[in-house]
Amino acid sequence: MSIVLSLMLRFPPAGWKPKGMTATASGPSRVDFMRNQMVKTSSFKGLWICYTIGALSGLTAIGIAGPVGKEVFTNAGLSSEVANNLIFTLILPFAIFNGAGRPIFGILTDKLTPKITAIITYMLIIIACLVMYTGYSSVLAYIICFCILWGCLGGWLAIAPTATAIYFGMKDNAKNYGLVYTAYGAGAIIGGIVSAQAKDILGAFQPFFLIVAGLAGVGIVLALVMLKQPVKKSA
């Protein structure tokens, strides 16, 4: 049924707008960038790296949620059985935060600009990681940290496409965001490797949270410098 219905889909004519809709002076850029033009801008490079950092932080959090939980709950004096049951139970609220992060940060991106919203996510990541690092035997610290990290991952799945449309327009948006989305893939690959090797390299997961906090700090700097409305150069 979906295939049959999809055959009816068509792109609207260039410049088409819904009846009664009028253009406003404010809002996303009125300049459209094609993909080959977008990749030459510092805004694209900044968005791609910032998205990679956001995805890396969140996807690593998903990968290490179980083993970190076991370490924390053991430090808190819980039995192995109780720890395993608690980790399993907490997956649902983590997933809820992940889902809720998408509309929340999508709205913030529209209201506050991609730059400010990206900085908010990085500040939250830093806070979460420092809470986890300093409270590595606290069940509450674990819950707070991973709810935030999972929520920020969901947030970046809204920030990145919204920022792509705002910065580079809608004309070639599908191709533009398709390229920006490769940052999520890069974050997934790096995050998978890191989550598998972090304990072997560092001896424990606790120091890893300082590294993630440092990456978020780099993200703040990049967002401040590179996340801005690009200027389209004349041919």
| Per-residue pLDDT tens over the stretch 45-83 | 999 999 999 999 999 999 999 999 999 999 999 999 999
How much is the pLDDT for 26?
44
How much is the pLDDT for 16?
63
How much is the pLDDT for 17?
67
Could you tell me if residue 235 is inside a domain? no
Q: Name the residue among 70, 63, 95 with its Cα closest to residue 192.
A: 63
Which domain range does residue 86 map to? 55-226
Could you tell me if residue 79 is inside a domain? yes
Could you tell me if residue 59 is inside a domain? yes
- Residue 179 sits in a domain whose CATH number is 1.20.1250.20
Calpha distance 65→82 (Å, rounded) = 16
Those residues of the chain that have pLDDT short of 70 are 11-12, 14-30, 234-235
Measured CA to CA in angstroms, residue 168 lies from 21, 44, 163, 165, 234 at distances of 21, 9, 8, 5, 15
Could you tell me if residue 234 is inside a domain? no
* Model confidence, pTM: 0.87
Could you tell me if residue 215 is inside a domain? yes
Could you tell me if residue 1 is inside a domain? no
Angle at alpha carbon of residue 118, lines to 114 and 123, rounded to 5°: 150
Count of domains for the chain: 1
Could you tell me if residue 65 is inside a domain? yes
CA dihedral over 56, 148, 47, 226, signed as positive or negative? negative
Give exposure, 149-164, as e/b (b: 16+ Cβ within 10 Å): bbbbbbbbbbbbbbbb
Could you tell me if residue 217 is inside a domain? yes
How much is the pLDDT for 235?
54
